[in-house]
Amino acid sequence: MSGPLDLSLTEAVGATKSGGISTSELVRAYLARIARWNDTYHVFLDVLEESATRRARELEQLSAEEREALPLYGAPIAIKDNLVLDRGSTTAGSRILEGYHAPYAATVVERLERAGAVVLGKANLDEFAMGSSTEHSAYGPTLNPWDPARVPGGSSGGSAAAVAARLGLAALGSDTGGSIRQPAAYCGVVGLLPTYGRVSRYGLIAFASSLDQVGPITRTVDDAAALLAVIAGFDPRDQTSLHEPPPAVFPEASVKGLRLGVLSSYPDGMDPVVRAALEQTMRALQDAGAHLVPVELPEPTRALAAYYVIAPAEASSNLSRYDGVRYGLRKDAEGLYALYDETRAAGFGTEVKNRVMLGTFALSAGYYDAYYGRAMAVRKTIAEGYDRIFGQVDALLCPTTPDLPFRLGERLADPWRMYLSDLYTVSFNLAGLPALSVPTGLHSGLPTAVQVAGPRLSETLLFRIGRAIESVAPPMPAPDLKEGGAA
């Protein structure tokens, strides 16, 4: 593979603005690759070929001055299918929304298109973003572009696989407990969890509203910065939106003089390959002038337990709107409660049902204080712990995941082992902090990654450190896609 698909987001935008390649040529190249590989890797649930082609032609009619004003001019981008769009279908990976057509577009999608981007299609995901492998999609799993016998991570597995496999120049995902960063790590791309409230959630189909955040998945740190600069900013339609300007687009890459917190100990079960990649990155950043300061993550195992009480509790409330009356699937039944029961039984998958029941139990009379109340107390303790850490260091360097991409089906019968994939990611959602996953190379053909996190609104600092990590890591090649998928 060579040509326009090798360009990064910033390179492609520069090429389309200069006339080196037309927006139609760029979009056609991506649509052709999607047509070639999507049936194998199952990255997109809905490919918007007609509207993407039309949009590319419309952009070509703009004057040079109008093109120059668009920071994403001609960029073909994939959208996770829990972001509503006023064309095509929006399913959130669930049968209960099969065939649903939204009447409006999410704020982040509006901002992308105002900046000149072209939406290629809706990417696959775990149903309602509940999962760590994209195996819980009602429409079948997405395969990892590096090894189609393995998962791409989740829940934004389709978005991450699209960027890695060159089926999209960049993508948007959502992150509730690691759902951008974990699949980015498994697919060898960059993934950012922004500060909670930095990016509007208007038009994002809710999973856990106090945790959900929309963010970019890209090939490079600069691309993530460019995408965040477009989608960030206050939105009056989201009551949690912050009155903060977008962060700087292209920060410096030096880490000289920065205090980076590093783990003084590791929880059990960490893959030695992941640990070795992290420690190699630590040494390289130290050689580049960073000061490494040992720290302890605040309650990593308790954070995971708290998350799996709080997130299902919020999901049980958010998913109550899917009742067979207002939109989506409707099953014929005798009586209102029978309608609810039969519609939800047919429309929701097993993982969603499990989490809704868990959340309903945690909020029920007699158990609220024992479970939800205690989980919220742990959440407060974790946030206070990070306040103390970031009083000592500028940023924190840790694993994104404790392991390499696992095999399809390997953890479906062991939910707790599946949930452990989020061990190093959920605490930043609980505290509302930004975190960036950056690839560090390949080991036996599989990607490794590290995560850098910081205090609220420190995305510019994270991009600076992320660029430094890129400078000391081997460049990530394009994966060699295999015909026929998993062996």
DSSP 97-134: GTT---SS--HHHHHHHHTT-EEEEEE--SGGG--SSS
In the annotation, is 80 catalytic?
yes
Question: pLDDT (tens digit, 0 to 9) for every residue of the chain, 487 residues total?
Answer: 468 999 999 999 999 999 999 999 999 999 999 999 999 999 999 999 999 999 999 999 999 999 999 999 999 999 999 999 999 999 999 999 998 999 999 999 999 999 999 999 999 999 999 999 999 999 999 999 999 999 999 999 999 999 999 999 999 999 999 999 999 999 999 999 999 999 999 999 999 999 999 999 999 999 999 999 999 999 999 999 999 988 876 667 889 999 999 999 887 778 999 999 999 999 999 999 999 999 998 888 899 999 999 999 999 999 989 988 877 888 877 888 788 888 888 889 999 999 999 999 999 888 888 999 999 999 999 999 999 999 999 999 999 999 999 999 999 988 888 988 999 999 999 999 999 999 999 999 999 999 999 999 999 999 999 999 999 999 999 999 988 654 3
DSSP 439-486: EEEEETTEEEEEEEE-STT-HHHHHHHHHHHHHHSPPPPPP---TTS-
Catalytic choice (94, 132, 159, 179): 179
Distances (CA, A) of 217 to 80, 171, 293: 10, 5, 29
In 144-201 the beta strands, taken as DSSP E runs, fall at 170-174, 190-193
Q: What pTM, to 2 d.p., does this model score? A: 0.96
Q: What does the pLDDT read at residue 46?
A: 98
In the annotation, is 17 catalytic?
no
Secondary structure of residue 409 in the 3-state scheme: coil
CATH number at residue 441: 3.90.1300.10
Report d(CA 344, CA 322) in Å as an integer: 7
Cβ burial, residue 399 (10 Å; 0-12/13-18/19+): buried
Catalytic choice (17, 24, 80, 174): 80
Q: What does the pLDDT read at residue 344?
A: 85
Catalytic choice (155, 200, 241, 458): 155
Q: What does the pLDDT read at residue 486?
A: 47
Structural domain that includes position 66: 1-487
Q: What does the pLDDT read at residue 2?
A: 61
Structural domain tally of the chain?
A: 1
- Radius of gyration from C-alpha coordinates of the chain: 21
